[in-house]
Structure 1
Amino acid sequence: MAQSWKDIAFATKEVDGNHFLATVRTLLLDALEYHHGRDSAASAIRQGRSAVANADTAFGTTMNTTEVVRPALERIDDSLSRPLPVDRSQRETVRKEVIDTLLTVIARIGDGSNLILDPDLDSYYVMDAVILKLPALVDQVGRIADLTRGALAMTDVPFERKAAFLILRGELVATLNGLSNTLESGYRGNADGSLQQSLGTPFTALYDALKPFLTALDTVLRDDTAARPDATTIESLRERVQVTADTLYKAA
């Protein structure tokens, strides 16, 4: 009987964790849009901020999240209290502070809700993908798009920007490969094959969306300005990546 109650408590905490995680993830996506230059996302951020604060009030004590939620919300409030910096490096600093604190919250929810501790092997790998790798990938896509967009009007892209691009590109590809390996491990741990049936197609769509996105960004870094895509094309490709990442998240 005692074990049954423990199992129920474990499962309940996972359900609460999924709810909490969904609110933070929504706020993360809205924050990425805002820091990507969409001022209209500010109202969605304020709504998302309230949802996360309410979720922390409900679950923060049991999941030990309040100590990381509070600074994340403070960063968001601070970023909304004044216009985003025009200077790219300053804007990136503000963006990084906001997004990094939200990623910390996501990781803490994974630990505090038992989601990342799921005893089933296939579920463990799915949670690793959802809690750790997908949020990192979406963040990296936004960062590299911003970096590249700033180079569109440059005849000769400075070496420093090219170097920063290559570093970010490497991080993004590494995250994508890590996500692929994580899902493959989950598939192997799923005896009936249902996990691959659910996630295989959404992951392939994400992979296929990233290929033209990265190809377009690579073109921007060349000094042949005539071959470069325009900002609208890059934004469209970025949005496609984000949509496919969201589809994979929901399928998981």
Structure 2
Amino acid sequence: MTLPAERSPDRRMSGLLPRLLLAVTLLVPTLVLSVQAWRGTDEKAAFAERERAGVEYLRALGQITLALVDAQSAAVAGQPVPRDALNRAVAEGGTVDARLGTELRTHERWAGVRAKIESLSDRSHTYPEATYTAYTEATDLLLALYAKVRDTSGLVRDPDPDSYQLQDSAGEELPESIVAAGRLADLAVLAPARPRAELVRTAGELSNARAEVLDPAHDLVTNLQLAVDSTDSGTLGGNLLGELDAYQQAVEALGAAATLGTGNPTTDDALPDPAAVAAARVVVHTAAAALSATVLTEIDQLLEARVDGLGTARLVTVAAGVALFLIGHAPLLVFLVAAGRRRGSAAPPAPGAGPSGAAGDPAPAGRAGAVARHWPGGTPEPPGPGHPTPANTTPAPKQWEHSGAAR
């Protein structure tokens, strides 16, 4: 029985080539989708990390704001300025800017704020109005730096409702309310010393300053309530609501203390009590400091959880890409494995073996599978014992030996 010939290399390659083309066709879109998903996840993680840098910068600015407003109130009132607390806050702000300023592009603005604050120590407090103006310029620069940090860190573009409302509260409403509370208390101190001809103007400034305290505080309460209502965090509401109530009550007390009297605006009776306003301002700053620390901590925790979730998403992307690769290339892998097994089972014949695989045993030839042995001259061997005459054949004539005795 004749064995089938082994498949030629050309035929094997002709079967492998379409499978390779199919594998490449499936591999390209799989790689493109996986790379795009990875890049998208990586960009979101980098964005969240930059936001966390902004939160850290805002925390340093919050300390500077509280120390600067305290120094302003003391300077306007003619009291000793607590320069140590302000110097420590500025030094800490410089450290943070040195580390994060390049990423957040705040070096130039921070240099201007720092120079303005340091120049306040050389200014004489003999003229309270000039002192008030100088500190107002410094706090304006500081509030502008808040806006810069929120913009370059991406906090103002945060995609989640809860963290967006929190950053808006900590980076805008709270600083504005703290600065406005300080200015309101300072105006209450300056008002009695102004000429009577300026009392009407002073009353208008006090009314505006009071509104600048209450309006951001109202927005702050609204934002934080929205954040609590929209968050998935189980701790945000419990951590914020108590401090938010304390802050709201402090602001309302300050607004009540700074309310103008109902008398003639040209008399001192219409002006608020400077001591009561100053005391209420201290309570507002204490409540605002506690609330700001809590809000910034909550933002950072939300961002950290987002970064961790994106790290998990990256792993899922890799796993999905590998799974798609294996599924799409399963036919090629099966083909290659089967081809390897066929090559392994087709062992080469032993040296000297015939086509039948037995060493030294030539393969049978002819129609019946028998091989006729011939004499060296080509004459068939005569039949004899053990060599029967094949069917349908005539015995060969007997050959006489040629000898010299027989003729």
TM over 0.5: yes
TM-score range, shorter chain: 0.7 to 0.9
Q: Quick one: distance in 2 between partners of 1:46 and 1:61?
A: 23
Preserved CA contact (<8 Å) 1:23 1:51 = yes
Q: Quick one: distance in 1 between partners of 2:146 and 2:231?
A: 25
Preserved CA contact (<8 Å) 2:59 2:293 = no
Q: Quick one: distance in 2 between partners of 1:155 and 1:12?
A: 54
Indicate the structure (1 or 2) with the bigger Cα radius of gyration.
2
Which residue does 1:150 correspond to in 2? 190
Q: Quick one: distance in 1 between partners of 2:205 and 2:213?
A: 12
Question: Which has the larger helix fraction?
Answer: 1
Q: What fraction of aligned residue pairs are identical, expressed as a percent? A: 22
Q: Quick one: distance in 2 between partners of 1:92 and 1:31?
A: 12
Preserved CA contact (<8 Å) 2:192 2:268 = no
Specify which of 173, 178, 194 is matched with residue 138 of structure 1.
Answer: 178
Preserved CA contact (<8 Å) 1:187 1:193 = no
Specify which of 48, 51, 54 is matched with residue 89 of structure 2.
Answer: 48
1:18-97 map, 5 Å: 18-37=55-74, 39-84=80-125, 86-88=127-129, 90-97=130-137
Moved more, 79-88 or 171-180: 79-88
The alignment's TM-score, normalised by the length of structure 2, stands at 0.56
Which residue does 1:161 correspond to in 2? 202
User: Runs of 5+ in structure 1 lacking a partner?
Assistant: none
User: Runs of 5+ in structure 2 lacking a partner?
Assistant: 1-37, 296-407
Which residue does 2:148 correspond to in 1? 108
Which residue does 2:51 correspond to in 1? 14
1:196-235 map, 5 Å: 196-218=237-259, 229=273, 231=275, 233-235=276-278
Which residue does 1:241 correspond to in 2? 284
Preserved CA contact (<8 Å) 1:64 1:112 = yes
SS at match of 2:191: coil
Q: Quick one: distance in 2 between partners of 1:47 and 1:76?
A: 12
CA RMSD of superposed structures (Å): 2.6
The alignment's TM-score, normalised by the length of structure 1, stands at 0.87
From the superposition, tell whether residues 240 and 61 of structure 1 become closer, same or farther in structure 2 (CA, over 3 Å): same
Deviations 1:77-130 (A, max 9, x none): 211222235232x22220111001111111211122223322211110010000
Give the number of aligned pairs.
250
Which residue does 2:230 correspond to in 1? 189
From the superposition, tell whether residues 162 and 32 of structure 1 become closer, same or farther in structure 2 (CA, over 3 Å): same
Q: Any runs of at least 4 consecutive aligned residues in structure 1 with deviations exceeding 6 A, and if so which?
A: 153-157
From the superposition, tell whether residues 13 and 131 of structure 1 become closer, same or farther in structure 2 (CA, over 3 Å): same
Q: Quick one: distance in 1 between partners of 2:178 and 2:92?
A: 21
Q: Quick one: distance in 2 between partners of 1:216 and 1:174?
A: 16
